Homo-oligomer: A and B are copies of this chain.
Amino acid sequence: MHLRLLPLLLLCLFARCQTKTGMPNANQTRPAYALAIHGGAGTIRKAEMTPEEDAAYRAALDTALTIGESILRGGGSALDAVTATIVWLEDCPLFNAGRGAVFTHDGRNELDASIMDGSTQAAGAVGGVTSVKNPIRLARAVMEKSPHVLLTGRGAEQFALENGLDTVPPEWFFTQKRWDALQQILAGEKKNAPQGRFVPPNSGNPDTKFGTVGCVALDREGHLAAATSTGGMTNKRWNRLGDTPVIGAGTYASDDACAVSCTGHGEYFIRYAVAHDVWARMAYGGLSLREAADQVVMKKLVEKGGEGGLIAVDKDGNIALPFNSEGMYRGYARPGERKIMIYKAE
C-alpha cells in the first residue's frame, strides 16, 4: 500500500477505536489497577426487589470490590485479586455460586468454575463438583498443580482431596430460596408434562436468572486475570455443564488485550465462544474493548437469542459491563472510582 495512504488508514482505525458508551479510563495513562465484578444477569426488575434486597445485593457487591481492590492497591496480582473476590462471592448465599447455588433436577448442587491468568494464559477449570467449598480455589489448583486444564465430577473431587482443599457436606450449599425455586419448577413440570416428558430448564419461564459470579482485574504490573463460578441452571440434568468451566466461552484472559467473565444462557455462550470472541475482535479486528464487548453481547447474542452479559477489562484499564437482559449485578473500581449497579438505567 502506498505510504501516503498511511495517515488516512491510521485515522480510520482511530475512528473505529473510539468508544461510544461505557467506562473508558479517564486518565490517558494506565491506572494502577482496575477491577470489575458481576453477580449474574437475568430478569432483575427494580419493581420486584424490596429495598432490603436491593441494599443487601449492593452491600455484597461493595464488599467483594473492597476485597479485590485491597489486594490490587497493595500491589498484589490480578490472579490473587480475582481468586479472593470470587471466594467471597462463593461464600455469600445471595449469589448462585458456592453457598447459595441453585439445585439440579435431582436436588443436588453441582458447581462449575474457571480461572485464567492473562500473563501466561495458564488456565484451570472444574465442572460438576459437589463437595468442594470454593470451586474457584479448585480451578486454581488445577491450573497450578496439575498438567491439565479441565477436571470434572468425582475425579475433580479426588484431585481436591489430594491437594488439601476444604470440603463441606452438601448442606453447606443449601439455601431455602434456591430449594423453593426448584420445587416450583418441578411442580410446573408435573402439571405441564404429566407423562413425565422433559421440560427444558427455563423454557417458557419469563423469570430467568442466570446466576453466576465473575471477576476480572488488571494489576500494577499490567497483568490481567479472569475468574467465573456458578451453580449453573436450576433443574439442570444429566451433569450438564454450561459456559462457566469452558475456557473461551465463560472465561478468557490474555495480557495482550483483555480479561472477560460471562454470565447468561450458557449454551449460547459456548456456541459463540463469547469470551474468546471479545478477545479476537480486539486482537484481529482492531476494536476497542467497549466496541468488541458491545458487538458480541448487544448484537451477536441478541440476534441469536442468547440472553446474558459479561464484564471485561482491557490492558489500559478500560472497563465494559454490557448485558442484554433486564439487569445484571455488577460493579467496578479503579483508583478514586467505584460504582455498583443492578438495573439497566443506572
Q: A280 to chain B: which residues have CB within 8 Å? A: 276-277, 280-281, 283-284
- A147–B201 touching, CB < 8 Å: yes
Residue of B nearest to A203 (CB): B147
Q: A152 to chain B: which residues have CB within 8 Å? A: 127-128, 152-153, 239-241
How far is it, in angstroms, between the C-alpha of A294 and the C-alpha of B147 when the chains are bound? 26
- Does A335 make an interface contact (CB < 8 A)? no
Q: A123 to chain B: which residues have CB within 8 Å? A: 270-271
CB distance from A292 to the nearest CB of B (A): 10
- A151–B238 touching, CB < 8 Å: yes
CB distance from A177 to the nearest CB of B (A): 24
For residues 225 through 283 of chain A, which have their beta carbon under 8 Å from a beta carbon of chain B?
236-242, 246-249, 252, 266-267, 270-273, 276-277, 280-281, 283
- Does A8 make an interface contact (CB < 8 A)? yes
How far is it, in angstroms, between the C-alpha of A155 and the C-alpha of B273 when the chains are bound? 24
Q: A1 to chain B: which residues have CB within 8 Å? A: 8, 12
How far is it, in angstroms, between the C-alpha of A280 and the C-alpha of B146 when the chains are bound? 29
- Does A190 make an interface contact (CB < 8 A)? no
- B122–A271 touching, CB < 8 Å: yes
- Does A149 make an interface contact (CB < 8 A)? yes
How far is it, in angstroms, between the C-alpha of A304 and the C-alpha of B122 when the chains are bound? 11
- Does A338 make an interface contact (CB < 8 A)? no
CB distance from A259 to the nearest CB of B (A): 14
- Does A188 make an interface contact (CB < 8 A)? no
- B147–A200 touching, CB < 8 Å: yes
**Known A-B contacts A155-B239, A273-B252, A276-B273; A246 and B150 likewise in contact (beta carbons under 8 Å):** yes
- Does A344 make an interface contact (CB < 8 A)? no
CB distance from A238 to the nearest CB of B (A): 4
How far is it, in angstroms, between the C-alpha of A251 and the C-alpha of B235 when the chains are bound? 28
- Does A70 make an interface contact (CB < 8 A)? no
- Does A345 make an interface contact (CB < 8 A)? no
Q: Other CB < 8 Å A-B pairs besides A152-B152, A153-B153, A247-B273, 20 of them?
A: A1-B8, A5-B5, A121-B271, A147-B203, A149-B270, A150-B241, A150-B242, A151-B241, A152-B240, A153-B154, A153-B239, A155-B238, A156-B238, A159-B238, A248-B249, A276-B277, A277-B280, A280-B280, A284-B284, A285-B285
- Enumerate the 6 nearest inter-chain pairs by beta-carbon distance, A residue then B residue, closest first: A155-B239, A280-B280, A155-B238, A147-B200, A248-B273, A284-B285
